Amino acid sequence: MGPIVLTMKASVIEMFLVLLVTGIHSNKEIAKKIKRPKFTVPQINCDVKAGKIINPEFIVKCPAGCQDPKYHVYGTDIYASYSSVCGAAVHSGVLNNSGGKILVRKVAGQSGYKGSYSNGVQSLSLPRWRESFIVSESKPQKGVAYPSALTYSSSKSPAAKAGKYEMTKASHLPCLPGTTTQPITLMPTLATTVAEDTHTNLPRPSPPAASATSSPRPQPVGHRSRQTDFWSTTASTSSQTSAGANTGSPRQDSVGAAFQQPMGADASLGFVPKEEFSTQSLEPVSQGDPNCRVDLSFLIDGSSSLGRRRFRIQKQFLADIAQALDIGPAGPLMGIVQYGDNPATQFSLKTHMNSRDLKAAIEKMAQRGGLSNVGRAISFVTKNFFSKVNGNRGSAPNVAVVLVDGWPTDKVEEVSRLARESGINIFFITIEGAVENEKQYVVEPNFANKAVCRTNGFYTFSVQSWFGLRKTVQPLLKRVCDTDRLACSKTCFNSADIGFVIDGSSSVGTGNFRTVLQFVANLSKEFEISETDTRIGAVQYTYEQRLEFGFDKYSSKSDVLNAIKRVGYWSGGTSTGAAINYALEQLFKKSKPNKRKLMILITDGRSYDDVRIPAMAAHYKGVITYAIGVAWAAQDELEIIATYPARDHSFFVDEFDNLYKFVPQIIQNICTEFNSQPRN
């Protein structure tokens, strides 16, 4: 044998190999033709997650349109079974947005999944998941029987589930599909607690509220006294029980158990669908609801007179809020400050960046005791809470929701104004406010309306009873998440000293000058004008300059609008540079330190003098400068005058008659900038 092989020529060996390979190949072809059973490929919707399907390996048909970001995908190449099957297929490049057939194979859970952007789909990262899957082209493997109907992990059809999801979503409860029990378990916990309170024949005897705090405190004058606190005591027994049920030690146990489950291939094939329903902490961490991107602080009442049960209701309220808000780095962030004699940050904006962790932490909060020094707390929030180191993103509106039992024991008006002027939107929730015979103790009558920026009720809630607090969750969140409204709330409109610098040169002409004044009036109208809110000033210039009126001249909108109407057309040359210097000196030098300084310059031609140095001086002095050019105005000059970035601060129109078109845009830019730089 040996010698024969040795004498074989290389070419012969090659031929032999070719024959061998061809043989195998044709055998395979035959095998395919014979063995491949005819089966109908099951279809699924884009939102179906791999974890919902029990079959370890299957071929499915995906519809078109699964590239949508709403079908979440976790991982790259190997996907957590929490992902949309079809979404993952698009991400991995096996499928395009037109849909088609794919082969899905379940594999072991991973300790981490990395998100990536691929084929038009952004997949997310996930720390770990109990099961994974991979997607490939639908080339059936020899000897594998693919199911022609899929087995789902629940008797309910996926369609029914999708409907349920929509419903819960609509009611604003974040509910991850697949964890349908979540909203249900949480709501009853609260419902029971409250129902118990409401229906178990009040009044109840009570040990002083002090049971919650360290020692009984004498109630100071001005602080609500609840000597006859009718529900603190007996409550403590039943509340212990309900607290135990609430904080969910059982839930934690089940989580612990879930973690101990092996995550090997066997476990994943063994797939226990129930697991998905009970293991809350294995849910992917949300990025947050992008439609409610706010930096939110709750100032909560920890005063002694509140009592233990009310404090618990307050905690439940916060937990409900944390639950209903989909908290995350791309959505709302929420921190809590508890006040008594003094305030303290319970959680900053960056302590708990998802709803679940925050909720768990809220359960563990202890009451501080002391007075209800709300003013001190608001001041603290302005100075400390919304600082950058504490997680203020800068680009999200700042919101402070103040909960107060009865009334504050200190004043809130002035500190609230400062808070608002630094860009914080204040909401006030007064619970069980002063009744007639208590009004004499209220330190500052009508405190809630004094604290908020508008007294139209948008920023205030008055809740009759702590039992009714829960009803405010949804209305409150609706307002708090109305970022457009917040972005242009009075905090944006009441914060500035706005100086108009108006070109009165000959080229403008009388008629057009009237149009310019209308433009100035239309912009001014948008602001809240008063001595403490926005103030308006105006300068007209030709070769020369004159002060039409300074910031402190008028303190109401109607006076300002009348004054604008009365400005007389001057006519002359165009020295824009000198006019900027004049405005800095005559207007902005007298601006208040806590105001934003805005200069809005309107010109119709190129300046006779250089604008560079004056413009730099304005920018250097923190005057945000808008340059509006009409007709013969020079765009390069407008861009030099305008604050950076010029595209947000300079505007050009070819005709005076088109000036009106810029009013909404300029207002919007002013507010956007205000909200992106909320600190003064």
CB 84 to ligand NAG: min, Å:
18
CB of 452 or CB of 561, closer to ligand NAG: 561
Reported as type and span, the H/E element at residue 335 is strand 333-339
Is 462 among the residues that bind ligand NAG (CB under 6 A)?
A: no
| Helix/strand/coil percent split, the chain, to 5 | 45, 20, 40
CB 99 to ligand NAG: min, Å:
8
Instruction: Map the footprint of ligand NAG across residues 493-522, applying CB under 6 A.
Output: 515, 518-519, 522
C-alpha of 13 from chain center: 70
CB 530 to ligand NAG: min, Å:
22
Out of 190, 448, 659, 666, name the contact with ligand NAG by CB under 6 A. 659
- Cβ–Cβ under 8 Å, residues 571 and 513: no
- Residue 213: both structure tokens together: 């705090």
| The length of the chain, given as a count of residues | 680
Number of neighbours of residue 208 by Cβ within 10 angstroms? 20
CB of 267 or CB of 663, closer to ligand NAG: 663
Stretch that binds ligand NAG, among 95-103, 151-159, 204-212, 364-372 (CB under 6 A): 95-103
DSSP tally for the chain: helices H, then strands E: 24, 19
State the Cα–Cα distance between residues 504 and 617, nearest whole angstrom: 23
State the Cα–Cα distance between residues 96 and 75, nearest whole angstrom: 18
CB 24 to ligand NAG: min, Å:
28
State the Cα–Cα distance between residues 522 and 525, nearest whole angstrom: 5
Tokens 């158990």 label which residue?
257
Is 96 among the residues that bind ligand NAG (CB under 6 A)?
A: yes
The mark string for 519-558 relative to ligand NAG (x by CB under 6 A, - otherwise) is x--x------------------------------------
CB of 51 or CB of 100, closer to ligand NAG: 100
Handedness of CA 338, 243, 250, 282 (dihedral sign): negative
CB of 476 or CB of 563, closer to ligand NAG: 563
CB of 64 or CB of 257, closer to ligand NAG: 64
Stretch that binds ligand NAG, among 32-40, 93-101, 170-178, 291-299 (CB under 6 A): 93-101
- Cβ–Cβ under 8 Å, residues 92 and 86: no
Stretch that binds ligand NAG, among 20-28, 120-128, 202-210, 659-667 (CB under 6 A): 659-667
CB of 98 or CB of 185, closer to ligand NAG: 98
Report how many residues bind ligand NAG under the rule CB under 6 A: 10
CB 651 to ligand NAG: min, Å:
12
The mark string for 99-128 relative to ligand NAG (x by CB under 6 A, - otherwise) is -x----------------------------
- Residue 424: both structure tokens together: 């914080």
CB 600 to ligand NAG: min, Å:
13
- Residue 569: both structure tokens together: 């057309």
Out of 663, 668, 669, 680, name the contact with ligand NAG by CB under 6 A. 663
C-alpha of 278 from chain center: 28
CB 96 to ligand NAG: min, Å:
4
Stretch that binds ligand NAG, among 143-151, 293-301, 464-472, 656-664 (CB under 6 A): 656-664
Which of these, 85, 96, 135, lies nearest to 119 by C-alpha position?
96
Handedness of CA 243, 251, 295, 473 (dihedral sign): negative
CB 579 to ligand NAG: min, Å:
21
Instruction: Map the footprint of ligand NAG across residues 398-437, applying CB under 6 A.
Output: none
Is 180 among the residues that bind ligand NAG (CB under 6 A)?
A: no
Out of 22, 26, 27, 98, name the contact with ligand NAG by CB under 6 A. 98
State the Cα–Cα distance between residues 506 and 572, nearest whole angstrom: 5
Number of neighbours of residue 645 by Cβ within 10 angstroms? 9
CB of 67 or CB of 233, closer to ligand NAG: 67
State the Cα–Cα distance between residues 26 and 32, nearest whole angstrom: 10
CB 92 to ligand NAG: min, Å:
14
- Cβ–Cβ under 8 Å, residues 209 and 303: no
Number of neighbours of residue 246 by Cβ within 10 angstroms? 20
State the Cα–Cα distance between residues 321 and 326, nearest whole angstrom: 9
CB 141 to ligand NAG: min, Å:
20
Residue at shortest CB range from ligand NAG: 660
CB of 16 or CB of 660, closer to ligand NAG: 660
Out of 171, 660, 665, 679, name the contact with ligand NAG by CB under 6 A. 660
State the Cα–Cα distance between residues 126 and 115, nearest whole angstrom: 8
Handedness of CA 47, 51, 52, 53 (dihedral sign): positive
- Cβ–Cβ under 8 Å, residues 355 and 365: no
CB 48 to ligand NAG: min, Å:
20
CB 661 to ligand NAG: min, Å:
8
CB of 60 or CB of 296, closer to ligand NAG: 60
Three-class secondary structure of residue 181 per DSSP: helix
CB of 16 or CB of 117, closer to ligand NAG: 117
At position 594, the amino acid (one-letter code) is N
Residue 274: CA count within 13 A, CB half-sphere: 4
- Residue 659: both structure tokens together: 């000036």
CB 523 to ligand NAG: min, Å:
8
Residue 615: CA count within 13 A, CB half-sphere: 24
CB of 475 or CB of 511, closer to ligand NAG: 511
Give the interface with ligand NAG as residue ranges (CB under 6 A): 96, 98, 100, 515, 518-519, 522, 659-660, 663
